[in-house]
Amino acid sequence: MNEEEIRSFLSSFPDGWDELLKDEKNKTYYQNLLLSVSKKYLTEKVYPPYEKVFSAFSYTSVDDIKCVIIGQDPYFNEGQANGLAFSVNKGVRLPPSLLNIYKELFNEYSYPIPKNGSLESWARQGVLLLNSSLTVKEGEPNSHSKLGWETFTDDVIKIIDSLDRPIVYLLWGNYAFKKSSLIKSRKAFIIHTAHPSPLSASRGFFDSNCFKRCNEYLIKNDIEPIDFQIKD
C-alpha cells in the first residue's frame, strides 16, 4: 500500500456513481481530501480499509436507491467498520446501536434478533448506508470529519435529491436530521427519530415504526418494499 495507490482508488467511484459524481472529483476540496486521507492511511490506523471506503456505493447502485440511512462516521475499533453505516461484518459482535436497530425491527415485525451484523442485504435492496465521514482514526470518533468528507457526502445527498423520485430518508438523531435541509424534492419522505444508541433509543427510536413507515411509503409509490430481516 502506498499513497499513490490509495489516491488512485479514491479517485474512482463504483459503476453508475462515477458518472453521477464526475464533477465532484475535480473540485479543489476533493483533491485536498484525497491528499489528506491517503497520508492518514500511511501515518495512522484508519478504518475502514481503503478498499472498503466506497462500499455503500458499490452495493447500492444509483438506479436502485429506495432509502437513505445517514450515519456520522465509521466504527473506530479494529475489525468493525466495513464501509456501510451501522453495519459490521458477519461474526463481529453487534455494536449497541445496531442491536437496538434489531430490537426495533423485532418490535415492528417480530423478526428474531440475529447475531449477524452485516447489513449488506439491505444495501443490495436499495438502502444507501451512508456515513457523513467515510474514514476515521482508530479510537477517535469524528477524527476525520474536518478533512472534507462531509462536503462530499452532503453533495452526494443533494445529487440523490435531484433525481426527484420517491426516496425515503431515515434520519436517526439530531446530527442526521440536520441533513434534511439538503433535501428539497417533494417526492422525498423524511422520517426523523431519535438515534438508536443506548443513550437515546428509548426517547423516540423504539416504537417509532420507522421501518414500517418506510415500506408503506414505498408501496404507496409502487416500489417494492425492503425486506429488513437479517438472517444469521
> What residues contact 150, with CB distance under 8 A and at least 6 apart?
132, 133
Residues in a beta bridge with 46: 137
Percent of the chain at pLDDT exceeding 90: 93
Q: Residue 1's pLDDT band (boundaries 50, 70, 90)?
A: confident
Q: What does the pLDDT look like over 97-148, one tens digit per residue? A: 999 999 999 999 999 999 999 999 999 999 999 999 999 999 999 999 999 9
Asked if 73 is an active-site residue, the reply is yes
Pair 119, 87: CB distance under 8 Å:
yes
Q: Other C-beta atoms within 10 Å of 146: how many?
A: 10
Average pLDDT over residues 50-62: 96
Distance CA(111)–CA(125), nearest Å, equals 18
Catalytic residue from among 73, 154, 207, 222: 73
The cell numbers describing 178, all together, are: 440536520
Residue 185, class by beta-carbon neighbours within 10 Å (0-12 exposed, 13-18 middle, 19+ buried)?
middle
Average pLDDT over residues 62-80: 96
Q: Residue 46's Cα: distance from chain center in Å?
A: 18
Pair 73, 132: CB distance under 8 Å:
yes
Q: What is the pLDDT of residue 15?
A: 83
User: Which string of DSSP letters, residue by residue, matches 26-48?
Assistant: GSHHHHHHHHHHHHHHHHS-EES
For residue 82, which of 58, 114, 111 has the smallest C-alpha distance? 58
Instruction: Name the residue type at position 126.
Output: G
> What residues contact 14, with CB distance under 8 A and at least 6 apart?
54, 57, 58, 61
Q: What does the pLDDT look like over 174-218, one tens digit per residue? A: 999 999 999 999 999 999 999 999 999 999 999 999 999 999 999
Residues in a beta bridge with 137: 46, 140
pTM of the model: 0.96
Q: Other C-beta atoms within 10 Å of 170: how many?
A: 21
Q: What is the pLDDT of residue 232?
A: 87
